[in-house]
């Protein structure tokens, strides 16, 4: 097997932007499914900095201060390539921020990465996933359920867990 026991870091950072009414901002990516704003963390980059950059790129919102982000979860990510699980040492950080703490306004035009942006309730997102599992990434549904458990006081932040969903990637990206 070409990957043997090598480890490929797959670091990511996602942000839940919550409105006063409890709805969260989802973005529909060029992958054709809804997801939370976020993306990869480059080597020697702080996850919070990556989160701030991705929010700006994908939503148009500016997070003025890193301290406005609240780290709520650290998730270990499982990586699968051609149905083979690749060992990974990467983490996905999950932050929350209230929309009122963001500056600017939501982008309305599609770009080459994001097709749509919309606020949805967690119940709406779970229903979308239950109707069509390709409409929302399962990992994002799980992140939102973790957020909801933290919000309701069922688990405490910083919640650590395995995000055991296959993530299709090209391993050369991590070499």
Query: pLDDT tens for residues 99-128?
Result: 999 999 999 999 888 999 999 999 999 999
Q: What is the pLDDT of residue 172?
A: 42
Q: What letter would DSSP give residue 87?
A: P
Residue 174 pLDDT: 39
Residue 118 maps to a domain: yes
127: containing domain: 12-169
Is residue 2 in a domain? no
Q: What is the pTM of this model?
A: 0.84
First to last CA, the chain: 16
Asked whether residue 92 is assigned to any structural domain, the reply reads yes
Quickly state the pLDDT bin for 153 (edges 50, 70, 90).
very high
DSSP H helices in the chain = 47-59, 122-131, 138-151
Q: Is residue 116 included in any domain, yes or no?
A: yes
**Are the CB atoms for 129 and 136 separated by under 8 Å?**
yes
Residue 162 lies in a domain: yes
What's the average model confidence in pLDDT over 128-157?
A: 92
CATH code, domain with 61: 3.90.79.10
Q: What is the pLDDT of residue 1?
A: 37
Query: What's the total number of domains in the chain?
Result: 1
Residue 5 belongs to some domain of the structure: no
pLDDT at 32 over 50: yes
- Flag whether pLDDT at 175 surpasses 60: no
Which candidate, 92, 65, 64, places its Cα nearest to that of 78? 92
Q: Is residue 3 part of a domain?
A: no
Average of pLDDT values for 43-55?
Answer: 92
Distances from the Cα of 33 to the Cα of 26, 50, 127, angstroms? 10, 21, 14
| 6 domain-assigned | no
Query: In the predicted model, is pLDDT for residue 164 greater than 90?
Result: no
Confidence of residue 3 (pLDDT cuts 50, 70, 90): very low
The SS3 of residue 7 is coil
Which pLDDT belongs to residue 49?
95
| Whole-angstrom Cα Rg for the chain | 16
């Amino acid at each position: 097997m070409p990957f043997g026991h090598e480890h490929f870091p797959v670091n990511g950072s996602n942000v839940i932007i919550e409105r006063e009414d409890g709805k969260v901002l989802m973005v529909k990516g060029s992958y054709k499914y809804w997801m939370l704003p976020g993306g990869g963390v480059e080597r020697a980059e702080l996850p919070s900095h990556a989160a701030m950059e991705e929010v700006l790129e994908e939503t148009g919102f500016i997070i003025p201060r890193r301290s406005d982000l609240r780290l709520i979860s650290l998730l270990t990510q499982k990586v699968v390539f051609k149905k083979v699980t690749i060992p990974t040492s990467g983490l996905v950080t999950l932050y929350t921020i209230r929309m009122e703490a963001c500056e600017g306004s939501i982008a309305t035009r599609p770009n080459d990465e994001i097709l749509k942006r919309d606020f949805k309730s967690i119940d709406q997102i779970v229903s979308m996933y239950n109707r069509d599992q390709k409409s929302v990434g399962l990992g994002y549904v799980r992140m939102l359920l973790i957020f909801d458990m933290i919000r309701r006081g069922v688990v405490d932040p910083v919640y650590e867990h395995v995000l055991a969903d296959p993530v299709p990637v090209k391993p050369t990206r991590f070499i």
